[in-house]
Structure 1
Amino acid sequence: MAYEIPVTQARAELADLINRVVYGGERVVVTRHGKPLAALVSAADLERLEALDAAVAGEERVASSVSRIREPGVREVPSAPGERQRFGIAAEYRGPGVS
């Protein structure tokens, strides 16, 4: 759970907040008008977050390249009329170059 503090108070207590994050293992959320504005996290937390972002980006690249691979002899078939309304489909994928 993160400790929340208004930005005006955080400005006055920055050194103490940094100590709480580094030595106390806390996470501090700085708010403005009660809404989250920024967060103070330890360098170790930041490294984990960046590693997670990199892993997710790598998975998205793999998924994107796999989705472009087509089996030989398999072709796309357009949706049957009315199928989109029946199943509540709001959009349809069209491959590159298809308008």
Structure 2
Amino acid sequence: MAYEIPVTQARAELADLINRVVYGGERVVVTRHGKPLVALVSAADLERLRVLEDAEASADEAGTASVSTLHAPAPSATGERGRFGIAAEHRDPGARS
């Protein structure tokens, strides 16, 4: 859980807050009008967040790539249309001819 402090008080106690974060392992959320404004976290916590973001981005890219291959047109679809006498084809409802 994070320690919350108003910005006016944080300004006066910045050195103490930094020590609490670095040496006490705390996380400090600075608020304005009761709403979170910024957070003070250790450099180690920040690095862990960056690693998590990178892992999530890689997972998202891998997921997008696998989904796009699922929706790729089948290479034999054009040839099969003539073979089976299929006269209709799917058209995007938003596309105009």
Q: TM-score range by the shorter chain?
A: 0.7 to 0.9
TM-score by structure 1 length? 0.72
- Structure 1: how far apart are the matches of 2:76 and 2:11? 61
More helix by share: 2
- Secondary structure class of the residue paired with 2:37: strand
* Unaligned ranges ≥5, structure 2: 78-91
Q: Does 1:25 align with 2:25?
A: yes
Cα offset, 1:68, TM superposition: 0.5
Structure 1, gaps ≥5 residues long: 76-94
Deviation of the 1:61 alpha carbon: 0.5
Moved over 6 A (4+): none
Structure 1 CA distance for aligned equivalents of residues 7 and 63 of structure 2 = 40
Deviation at 1:74, TM superposition (A): 9.4
Deviation at 1:38, TM superposition (A): 0.4
Q: The residue matched to 1:26 in structure 2 has which SS? A: coil
* C-alpha RMSD over aligned residues: 2.2
Render the CA deviation track for 1:20-77: whole Å, top value 9, x for unaligned: 00000000000000000000000000000000000000001001111110374798xx
